[in-house]
Amino acid sequence: MFNMDWTGEYVAFIVFSAVIISGAVFMINFTKVVHMVVSLAAVFIGIAGMFVLLQAEFLAFVQVLIYAGAISILMIFGIMMTKHGDREAESKSRLHKIAAGIGAIALFGILFYAIRQTEFPAQEQPLHGAEDNAMEIGKLLFTGYVVPFELVSVLLTVAFIGAIVLAKKEANE
């Protein structure tokens, strides 16, 4: 795993993973809520870079639009509408934090062991449709995945109407 030559992809991978992991760790350590959201936006952009490395350009742009754009802004609005300049109060018990940390590290240990132990078989053929990625995805979306695509559109409509109804001010209660 660690014995690979220094190709351009590898260097870019190192840079993006550094952005992703440092953003996530900063998110855990910051005390101001808005700073946490901004560092998570960095994580989302790093993941978009990873998608470009994995020849999923369309997904990379979707990631930037939806995660780094829409969801970050939505969360910032959520913070604005709940409490301004809120600081993360330190009152969760130390025991709770240690237990959560041990749980997360144990899960990572299991995943690490599983990934190292697994023999990934060699590829049968390289990814086709890597160039013209957006066109290939569009073709698939309107041939093989029409039904899920339409279902997702219905689900999004229902979810957003539901969100509006939930967040609406209740009439003079």
Partner 1 sequence: MLSSYLMVAAILFCIGLYGALVKKNAVIVLLCIELMLNAVNLNLVAFSKYGVGASLTGQMFTLFTIAIAAAEAAVGIAILIALFRARGTVNVDDYDEMRR
70 binds partner 1 (CB under 8 A): yes
Q: Is 20 in the site for partner 1 (CB under 8 A)?
A: yes
Smallest gap from residue 172 Cβ to partner 1 (A): 13
H-helix or E-strand spanning residue 141: helix 133-143
22 CB-side CA count, 13 A: 8
Burial class, 41, CB count within 10 angstroms (exposed 0-12 / middle 13-18 / buried 19+): buried
Residue from the set 3, 121, 143, 147 that interacts with partner 1 by CB under 8 A: 121
CA atoms within 13 A on the CB side of 4: 10
Range 22-61, binding partner 1 (CB under 8 A): 24-25, 27-28, 33, 36-37, 40, 43-44, 47, 50-51, 54-56, 58-59
**Residue 4 interacting with partner 1 (CB under 8 A):** yes
Phi, psi of 59 (to 5 degrees): -65, -35
List the one residue from 8, 15, 95, 104 that touches partner 1 (CB under 8 A): 104
152, β-bridge pairs? none
Where residue 129 falls (left for φ over 0; alpha for ψ -120 to 50; beta otherwise) is: left
| By CB under 8 A, residue 68 contacts partner 1 | no
SS3 84: coil
Does 82 contact partner 1 by CB under 8 A?
Answer: yes
> Is residue 69 near partner 1 by the rule CB under 8 A?
no
Q: By CB under 8 A, is residue 62 in contact with partner 1?
A: yes
> Is residue 94 a contact point for partner 1 (CB under 8 A)?
no
* Minimum gap (Å) between residue 165 Cβ and partner 1: 8
